[in-house]
Amino acid sequence: MGMKINIYYGGRGMIDDPTLVVINKIQSVLEELHVEVERFQLYELKNSIPTLPQTLKNADGIILATTVEWHGIGGYMTQFLDACWLYGDKEKIAKTYMCPIVMSTTYGEREGKLDLSVAWEILGGLPCSGICGYIADSTVFEHNENYNTLIEKKAENLYRTINQKLEGLPASNQAVKKMVAVSKNIDLTPQESERLSVLASNDNFVTTSKEDLQELTSMFRNMMNEDEGSEDSEEYIADFRKCFTPQPGVRSKYKFAIKGKRKPLIIEVNGPKAEFYYGNADSPNVEITITPETMDDIIYARMTFQRAFMGSQITAKGDFPLLRALDILFPFKEEKAKEE
């Protein structure tokens, strides 16, 4: 059975990408050595990256090739390595050689090459000597035969390493992996991992699952709210309702976050009408954080909203003219005087 090498290209596919020049040359050399080469352009397969670890099964070795354009190995390659960690067959990865190829058009090719090697070692795989370089203009390969000779030698060394199953010296990454870099194993078989990776790349499945989770979350939240009871659901509401003094043209939504209450008190004023309830409200005009003690002081006319705010006894954000209007809409002092 012949040798098979997969190339995973994590760049953006730009026509002047120097990484493409290098892997084209390497692929040509490997094919001359009768190696079956299959290339995966990650930027074209971005919606199915979680399924790509399945393609490692029939490969004797792989090439991870990417370009550093501004910082790091790029998002597509990171997603692929994440997928190998989550869904890859670790037993197969442990027998798979990997050659990193990183070209930089700015800075960081050595760091990128090291990053790929370390990642593959932590996954349990076998790293090979790779290629990295700073290439500002990919046409440099047309004028420097030494560069092309170097790339050819690297391709031959990769072939020799895989063909002879050469071993390298132990790396500390392997020891660290055994101690601290153990993924949370949920005891899936390789077949189950493969099925999970297919589902993870299925947009319709993921969307439907998210909708189902949201529906379940909403259902359980409602159940919890019902279980909490309504012993406090009317506290303060009767006081505000009794004291409400409509003001022409005033329309506002107040949200009172009362410490100790699970839900905020919402007051919606719409001209001559007002609604009072505990719950959630979108886009309130004024949000107030207040303690039960300060709320009692205001309701029993020992304090006004304005004085409480100036004295830092409450915090508020939003429309401050509407905050000042609270003392007009709810004149507790006047109402208290009437009671007396």
Query: For position 189, what pLDDT does the model report?
Result: 65
Query: For position 332, what pLDDT does the model report?
Result: 87
Quick: pLDDT tens for 104-126. 999 999 999 999 999 999 999 99
Q: What angle do CA 211, 52, 181 make, to 5 degrees?
A: 85
Q: What are phi and psi of 210, to 5 degrees?
A: -65, -40
User: Measuring CA to CA, how many Å separate 256 from each of 23, 73, 237, 333?
Assistant: 63, 48, 12, 20
275: β partners:
268
Residues 4-200: name the CATH superfamily. Answer: Flavodoxin domain (3.40.50.360)
Distance CA 320, CA 282 (A): 18
Local structure of residue 107 (DSSP, 8 states): S
Query: For position 165, what pLDDT does the model report?
Result: 87
CB 328 within 8 A of CB 245: yes
CB 83 within 8 A of CB 46: no
pLDDT at 209 exceeding the cut of 90: no
Q: Report how far Cα 335 is from the mean position of its chain's Cα atoms.
A: 54
Nearest CA to 56 among 5, 103, 20? 5
pLDDT at 20 exceeding the cut of 60: yes
Which tokens in the block code for residue 322? 């509407």
Same fold, 4-200 and 237-339: no
Q: Report how far Cα 189 is from the mean position of its chain's Cα atoms.
A: 26
The CATH number for 237-339, chosen from 3.30.1050.10, 3.90.76.10, 3.30.470.20, 3.40.50.1100, is 3.30.1050.10
Distance CA 194, CA 239 (A): 62
Query: For position 213, what pLDDT does the model report?
Result: 74
CB 3 within 8 A of CB 35: yes
Domain ranges for the chain:
4-200, 237-339
Nearest CA to 267 among 329, 312, 223? 329
Region 43-61: mean pLDDT is 94
